[in-house]
Chains A and B, each alone.
Chain A
C-alpha cells in the first residue's frame, strides 16, 4: 500500500477518480500537466498514475479500431511507447514513470512472445511431429523437462536456486518465453528443425530476461490466489475456445498490468516483511524524512515487540512538515490504487511512538554528531539505478557519507518499481531543484532574497558505494547485484525509449 514520499492526496486521488469517466486523450493531457506542474510527485504516486493511465490506454483499444481492441501487440507497443514518451518528457526527473512504461512494455512483449509461441505450436502440432530430441537440443532437452516440473509455482513458493534460474540464464535463447506448463511441452515437442528455426525466429528476445528467475517479481496473484485465475490458464482457455486473437491480447495484457498494480499496492508490506531480519532490539536507527516505506518497516518491527530508538532527520526545508506530521500523528496511508480503496486502511497509521518506539526528531545537521551511536541507517530513495546508486531527498548524501565514515550500514528500502534500467551517466542532470522561497521567503526577507542567490536542491545522488544493502519487495540484495534484478524486470529493447531522460544521455 504505502510508499516513499507523501503524495499530495487531492491531485492524485482526484486524477485516479477522474480516470474512469474522462476520455482517454484528456486523461493523458491531464496527467502530463499534473506531472509538469508537480502536482503529482513522489515515486509511488507517479508510478500509480502512470500504471492506471496505461491500463486505460490498453482498455481503450487501438485508436484505429472501432471495437476497442488491439489488432496486434506491435500496435499496442507502439501506442504505449508513444504515450510513455509523452509522460517521460513531461517529467524526465521522475525516473519511476519510465520504469513503469518499460514494465508495461515488458508485459506486452511477454504476451506477444506467448502468443507467437502458441501460434507456432498450433501450426507444428498440425504437422504431428513430436520428437523430443534433436542434435542441437539433445542434451538440453533434459533441462526443459525439469523446468516444466519446477514451474514458476515452485519459485513463487519461495524455493530459491532451482534449476530454472540457472537454466534460464544459460539457455534462455532456445527456451525463452514464460516457463508455464501449458507452453513448455509445445516448445519441447517442436522438431529439430523448428527448434533451430525458433532460435532464429525470436532474435529480439532479451536473453537476460527471465520471468522465472527467483528474483523476478512474483505475480501478485500469490497474494490472493483465489481471486484471480492465472493469466496463462486464461490464455489457454481463450486460445482454445475462441480464435479471437485481438481480444486475447488485450485481456492478457490487462491481466499483467493488474499484477503490476497489485505489486505497487503490496510493495511496502512485502518490504516490511523482512523488517525482523534487519532490526534487533535495542537498536538505534537513523532515518531521513517521512517515507511510508520506512515507517511501515519500522512499525512492523515495533509490532513484533522489538524495542528500539529511531532518530529522524527532519529533511528541512522541503519535507519537514510532512516529517513532523508523521511523527506526531502517524503516517498518512497512501492513496489506494483501487479508486474506491478496496480494503485499504482508513485513517492514519499508528504513529511509531504509539507502537512503543522512542523517536527522536533531530535537525539534519546533527546527523554527523549522532552517527557514532547509530547502528543502522534506513533510507527510502526516489529511484534506484541499475548500478546500485540511488536518487533520494536532499540531505541523503551527507547521511550516507557520514554512515560510511563511521562504518554504519546503510539499508535502502526500495520497491522493485523504483529500480531503473537507466544507467546514470549524468548525475548532475538527475538532481531536481525546488522552490527557493522555502529556504528564505521573499515575504520574510525581500532585500536578502534580492541580493543573494538562493538554491534549493530537492534530491541527492548517492553512489553505490554509499549503500550497504538494498531491501526490495523480493528480499535483500547487495548493490552490486542490483543489475541482475533490473535485468529480470525489463526487456533490453525497452531500455531506450527514445526520449531524453534525466541522467541518461541517449
Chain B
C-alpha cells in the first residue's frame, strides 16, 4: 500500500509538514510541561505508525479508510492539544490537511519529524526563558517585584486559566457578563505566538510575566517595562534615511507597547511612563549620534525610575511611617509595595504596632505581604475580605496602595479596596492611600464598571477545579451550565469621600488635590 499511495500525496503532505513546523515553533510553549506534552504526541504518533505498518496488508481500500480515520482522530487530538496550549493557528493547518489525507505512512513520518522539530524549538524557547529570568533578576533589584514569585521556576508561574483561555472564546457570547461586555475585548496573551518580529525578547518575556501575574502591581510593572525598554533601546539601530527621534517611537517602541498591551492592559503608571519616554525621544536632537542618543535615553530611563518610583517610594514610606503611632493597628488590603515599605520602615524605627492584612481570591497577593511582614518580625493577622468588619473593629488606621488616582480624587485599586475603605470610613478610621505621583492620571471615573480590567473567569475556579480534577468542585462544569457567568474584575473605584489622605512624594494631600499635583508633575516631566 505504501508505494501505491505514498507517491502521489507526498507533495501535499510535505507542505503540510512544512507548515506545521513554523506553526509548531510558534505554538511551542515556554515551559517544560509543554515539551513533555509534545513528546507524548510524538510517541503516540509512533505507535500509530506501527499499527499502520502491521495491518496495511489488508485490502488497499480498507487501509485507505482506516488511515483516513486515524488521521482524522489525530487531527482532532492535535486540535484539542493546540486549543489547550492556547494556539489559534490550528484552523488553517487542519483544513489544509483535511483536503489530502490519503497518505497513511508518509504523513505520520513527516509529522513525527515536525514534532521533533517542535520539541527542539520548545527547548530553545525554554532557554530563552532562562535568559529572561536574568532580565527578571534585574527587575528584582528595584525591589518592587514581588519577592515570593521570583524564586519559583517559570514553569509553575502560569495561571491555571491558561489552558482554558482560548477555548472560552467559542462560548464567550453566553459567558460574558452583560454589564461588562465592553471590557471583554481586552486580550490576554499567554504565549508569544504571533508576536511581531520587532518585539525585543526582553519585552516578550516581560509580557508573559505580566499576563501570568509574575510581575504584578502597578509600579512593579512600570519599572519592569522601562527596564525592558532600556534593553530594547540598546538593541536598536536607526535605519538609514531616517532619524532616531522620528523612527524610534512610532516604528520601534510601538510594536513593543502593542505587544505588552496584548498581554495585559497596561496600567496608568505604564501609560504615564510611555508618554514620558516618547516625549524624551522626540526631544532628542536628530543630529545626535545613535549610540549617544541611546545612552542618553537609557540614562533618562534610569533617572525616571529612580526619581519617580524608587526615591518617591522611599520618600512616601518615610512620611507615611510617621503616621503610625505606637499601639496602632494598621489595616491593609492585598499587597502594595509602598505599604510594605512603609510598615517595615515604621517597624525599623521601633514603633510598636500590629498589622492586619486582608486578602482575597483569586490572587492572594496579601499572603506575600503578610509573609514579608512576619519575617521582619511584625505581629501580623491575616484574614480574608469577608472578615473586613471584624478587622475594622480593631483597626486604628487603614493604609492602602493604589493602582491609580483618578483626577476626581477617586482611587482605583485592587477590587475589594473600596469595601475596606467604606467599612473604615463608616467607623471613622482614617484611610490613608500611599501613591506615587506617577500613578496619577487625568482620567476620571465614577464607577468601577466603565473602566476596569476583566481577568479570565477561569482564574476564579478553585485550584483543584482548574486542574480538571474530577472532584474539583462543582464549578468545573460552569461552562456547560447555560446562563451561569463568572465575573472576575481586577479593580474597583473607591469614592473620594472615603479617603482621608493621599501620601505622595510631594507630601500629604487630600484626594481633591490629585489633579493639581498631576498637572505639576507632568509639567515638570515635559520641561526636563
Contacts and interface: CB of A to CB of B under 8 A. Distances in A.
Contact of A328 (B371, B379, B475): B475
Q: Which of B383, B423, B462 is the most central at the interface, judged by chain A CB atoms within 10 Å of its CB?
A: B383
B382 A327 contact: no
Contacts of B382: 439-440, 448, 452-455
A395 B460 contact: no
Contact of A316 (B381, B386, B482, B487): B386
A372 B449 contact: yes
A448 B416 CA distance: 23
A434 to B, nearest CB: 10
B427 to A, nearest CB: 10
> Interface extent on B, as a size class?
35 or more
A439 B362 CA distance: 12
A361 B390 contact: no
Interface in B367-393: 367, 370-371, 374-375, 379-391, 393
B268 to A, nearest CB: 17
A366 interface: yes
Nearest to A447: B371
A19 to B, nearest CB: 31
Interface stretch (B54-62, B150-158, B235-243, B488-496): B488-496
A401 B422 contact: yes
Interface string A437-463: 001100001011001111111001000
A359 B483 contact: yes
A389 interface: no
Interface string A419-437: 0000000001001000000
A357 B383 CA distance: 33
Interface in A291-339: 309, 311, 315-318, 320-321, 324-325, 327-329
A360 B387 contact: no
B422 A369 contact: no
A402 to B, nearest CB: 6
Interface string B462-489: 1000000000011101100111111111
A398 B389 contact: yes
Given A316-B361, A363-B362, A369-B492, A395 B386 contact: yes
B178 interface: yes
A369 B493 contact: yes
Given A321-B473, A455-B390, A456-B387, A360 B481 contact: no
Given A353-B481, A365-B416, A394-B387, A373 B370 contact: no
A105 B486 CA distance: 47
Contacts of B516: none
Interface string B166-188: 00000000000111000000000
Interface string B439-464: 00000000111001000000010100
Interface string A395-427: 101100110010000000000000000000000
Contacts of B447: 369, 372-373
A397 B389 contact: yes
A500 B416 CA distance: 37
Given A328-B474, A373-B449, A439-B382, A363 B460 contact: yes
Given A359-B483, A448-B371, A364 B380 contact: no
Contact of A315 (B383, B386, B388): B386
Given A357-B483, A431-B390, A453 B379 contact: yes
A356 B460 contact: no
A154 B380 CA distance: 62
Q: Which of B371, B449, B486 is the most central at the interface, judged by chain A CB atoms within 10 Å of its CB?
A: B486
B474 A453 contact: no
Contact of B485 (A359, A366, A448, A455): A359
Interface residues of A, number: 57
Contacts of B374: 448, 451-452
B41 interface: no
Contacts of B361: 316, 363-365
Contact of A398 (B371, B423, B488): B423
A373 B382 CA distance: 31
B418 interface: yes
B386 A394 contact: yes
A61 interface: no
Interface string B482-526: 111111110111000000000000000000000000000000000
Interface in A345-376: 351-354, 356-370, 372-373
B418 A456 contact: no
A324 B466 CA distance: 14
B284 interface: no
B399 to A, nearest CB: 17
B483 A369 contact: no
Nearest to A357: B483
Contacts of A357: 483
A357 B382 CA distance: 36
B10 interface: no
Contacts of A328: 474-475, 477-478, 481, 484
Contact of A358 (B449, B485, B493): B485
Contacts of A321: 462, 473-474
B419 interface: yes
Given A363-B361, A364-B385, A460-B389, A451 B371 contact: yes
Contact of B483 (A317, A356, A364, A373): A356
Interface in B74-132: none
A365 B381 contact: no
A358 B382 CA distance: 34
Contacts of A354: 483
B33 interface: no
Q: Which of A329, A365, A394, A452 is the most central at the interface, judged by chain B CB atoms within 10 Å of its CB?
A: A365
Interface of B: 177-179, 357, 360-362, 367, 370-371, 374-375, 379-391, 393, 415-416, 418-419, 422-423, 426, 447-449, 452, 460, 462, 473-475, 477-478, 481-489, 491-493
20 contacts: A316-B360, A324-B462, A327-B484, A352-B483, A353-B484, A357-B483, A360-B177, A361-B485, A363-B488, A364-B385, A365-B492, A367-B419, A368-B492, A369-B489, A398-B419, A401-B422, A431-B390, A448-B370, A452-B371, A456-B383
Given A439-B382, A455-B382, 5 more contacts: A324-B473, A359-B483, A361-B460, A364-B416, A369-B449
